[in-house]
Structure formats: structure tokens, C-alpha cells
Amino acid sequence: MNSAGKPISGETYFFRDHGQFDLLFLRLLPELIKRRRDTKILRLWSAGCASGEEAYSLAMLVDSLLPERNDWNILIVGSDIDPTALAKARRGCYGRWSFRMVPPALQQRYFRLQGGEWALDERIRRMVGFRRLDLVAEPFPDAELRDMDLILCRNVFIYFDADTVATVANKLARALCEGGYLMTAHAELTGLHPKDMQSRLFSESVVYQRVAHMAAGAALPDVRPPPSPVALQRAPDQAPLLAASADALLATAREFADRGDYGLAEQTCQRALSIAPLAAAPYFLLAQLAQLGGDFERAGKLLDRTLYLDPGCVAATLELAALCERAANLPRAQTLRRAALDIIRSLPGDAAIAPYDITAAEMAQWLAQ
């Protein structure tokens, strides 16, 4: 039970939420590794890690992305309030249930069967350190939990009341370095704007990025792409009609979404659709917005519509797979991931796969795992 008397579950498994792990593997971790190429210091934290599967999943991704890392200083910390869960995490031995979302090839690569349990490869186990921490009652940042490049705090906020969610989100924000990312489970921080954080919308998930500390009244630093042709200052229905092509409106809608103005993003998308009703991309953005609002059923319908209009859209296929997985519709999730793989394999190996910063060959390798 937590302090509010809600029962706490340590439910977790490896690579929980493939969509978010795709995002980590394909975009966020490569970006962080690139950013840290000079210092070769990388700091990752799984906050509320339960029995460690999330922290070790991160370690496996780092191992895949940085196989030669002797000259790197990589910190991966898992923390939890529950000492029993942490003891299990430190052992690094798991039953079959922890692998319900792990492709057999990955399981074989990193685990070996030992006395009825799957024991994690010692190299990966040693990459992660665990410690007990009450995210609510204990102070942080501290000597270790500071300047993080990435914090995963997923399926933990559900145990807190609204005030506590805000307090913990702000503490986590302070434990990030500038430019560092906080990833929560879907919709856990909807409607909340942690201090000095900017939400960034990716097709798989929204994540929060720490921006430079702002003095009260200071202007928001502009970390966004250059403005699109439709002036952002105007409400969408005031944008000059003649200048408003569907593409320009969609670009504007994305910028609204990037800076957290989801209502304006939705309206602008609808305007784009009124000009180009058969365009797939506005439906895809609407699906992402629906997910942000926690309306997964509507998101699923919008993704179906996206794929009806653009059957070759890899991002929508993967996003729908993640939604099916979330709804425990595993057969459809697998069918969709296979479909994404088929689309990618039909492309030249060096083709860039939008919106990911990755080639078709690299993505095929990841999906095949």
C-alpha cells in the first residue's frame, strides 16, 4: 500500500511497451550517445524499476547500440521503494512471465536457462546498479541521481495523488541534465507541465525534455524547428486562407503539438483535413493526440484510417502494433510488426525511414529481433 492506501503492484516485464522501446532504440538513445560522444558519459535511471526488467532492458539496448564501450562511463541505476523487488532485481534471474514481450532471439542472446529460471548475462547484470529510494519522501537530486540523460518513470505515477504527481515530476525534472529526457507511461502526466520541461511528441510516445532553467517571466527558449509558413502566433482559424496549404497546416499542427498546445494542434489538423480529406498524415497526428489524451480507442480508429489511406506507413503500423499490445491483442500486434518488417524489407537498405533517424537495413534488424 502507498501512503494514500492504494495497493501497489510490482508488475513489470522486459521491453514493456514496444512502441516506447522502439523510440528509445531508434531515436532517443542514438541521439544521447551522439551528444555524449566527446565526454563519453551516459547516465540513465529507471525510477520505480520494481524487479529490474526495465533497467536491464535499457542496458540491453545500450549494449546493442554501443557494443564497444570500454572507454565510456555509463551509469544505469534502477531504484524502487520495495526492497524485496530490488533483491530480485540484483539477482538478475527471471521466470517465463517476465519474457512475455521478449522475442525468443533476444532472450537467447542475453539469458541462459539455469535451474528453471532465466539468468541474465553477467555482462548486462553488471551494467546496472540498484538502490532503494522513495520518490515521494526522499530528497533528490543527490550525489548519484543527478545530471541524468534519461529517466524512465513508467507506471509509477498511477500510485500518487495529483499533488504528489506534480511534486515527483518536478523532482525528476531537476535530476535531468539540460536536454535530458523523462519518459513516463502513456498519459501519466497529461495536463501537467513539469517545471523547465517541454513535451516532445514522437509517433510512439510523448516524452519530456529538460530545457534551460527559466527565470520567472523569461521567454521560452526556442528549441523548436523553424516556423512553418503559417504564422504560429495566430489561432488556426485566423491563418490566412490562401497561404494555408494542407502541408503547411500540418506542419503548424505538429509545432502546436510539440509545444504542448494539443487543442490547437487538433483544430489545425482538422483544417488540414478539410483541405485534403484523403491525406494520411493528419490522421496520424490526430491519433497521436488521442493517445496523449488517453483515448486509445479513438487512437486505434485513427491509425486504422491512416493505414487505409497509406498502407505503407511504417510509423502508423508500429504505433498500431503498440496499441494492440497495450490492449493485450498480441496476435494482431505481431501481425502488424511483421507487416512493418515486410514494408521495410521491400525498400533499399539505405532508404531513410521517416520519422526515424535510421535506414531501412538498421530498422529491419531491430524489428527482426
- Which of 80, 188, 258, 266 binds ligand SAM (CB under 6 A)? It is 80
Region 153-172 residues binding ligand SAM, contact defined as CB under 6 A: 154-156, 159
- Which of 31, 63, 82, 121 binds ligand SAM (CB under 6 A)? It is 82
**Residue 134 in the binding site for ligand SAM (CB under 6 A):** yes
265: helix, coil or strand?
helix
Cell numbers 506542419 correspond to: 251
Query: Rounded to the nearest whole angstrom, what is the least distance from the CB of residue 239 to ligand SAM in the complex?
Result: 40
**Residue 98 in the binding site for ligand SAM (CB under 6 A):** no
- Which of 23, 24, 50, 60 binds ligand SAM (CB under 6 A)? It is 50
- Burial (CB count within 10 angstroms: exposed 0-12, middle 13-18, buried 19+), residue 270: middle
How far CA 301 is from CA of 20, 159, 262, 277, in Å, comes to 20, 30, 19, 16
**Residue 202 in the binding site for ligand SAM (CB under 6 A):** no
Cβ atoms 316, 345 nearer than 8 A: no
Contacts of residue 143, defined as CB under 8 A and 6 or more positions apart, other chains included, come to: none
| CA gap 240, 247 in Å, rounded | 14
Contact range with ligand SAM by CB under 6 A, out of 42-50, 102-110, 224-232, 360-368 = 42-50
**Residue 2 in the binding site for ligand SAM (CB under 6 A):** yes
Closest among 281, 71, 282, 54 to 155, alpha carbons compared: 54
- Tell whether omega for the bond before 141 is within 30 degrees of 0, i.e. cis: yes
CB-wise, 145 or 341, nearer to ligand SAM? 145
Number of residues that bind ligand SAM (CB under 6 A): 23
Contact range with ligand SAM by CB under 6 A, out of 34-42, 47-55, 69-77, 243-251 = 47-55
**Residue 259 in the binding site for ligand SAM (CB under 6 A):** no
How far CA 253 is from CA of 205, 229, 297, 313, 344, in Å, comes to 17, 12, 22, 19, 27
CB-wise, 84 or 365, nearer to ligand SAM? 84
CB-wise, 43 or 186, nearer to ligand SAM? 186
Cβ atoms 44, 150 nearer than 8 A: yes
**Residue 10 in the binding site for ligand SAM (CB under 6 A):** yes
What grid cell was written down for 368?
527482426
Query: Rounded to the nearest whole angstrom, what is the least distance from the CB of residue 20 to ligand SAM in the complex?
Result: 9
Query: Rounded to the nearest whole angstrom, what is the least distance from the CB of residue 151 to ligand SAM in the complex?
Result: 11
Query: Rounded to the nearest whole angstrom, what is the least distance from the CB of residue 194 to ligand SAM in the complex?
Result: 17
Closest among 313, 316, 325 to 288, alpha carbons compared: 316
**Residue 12 in the binding site for ligand SAM (CB under 6 A):** yes
Interacting residues toward ligand SAM by CB under 6 A: 2, 8-12, 16, 48-50, 54, 80-82, 85, 133-136, 154-156, 159
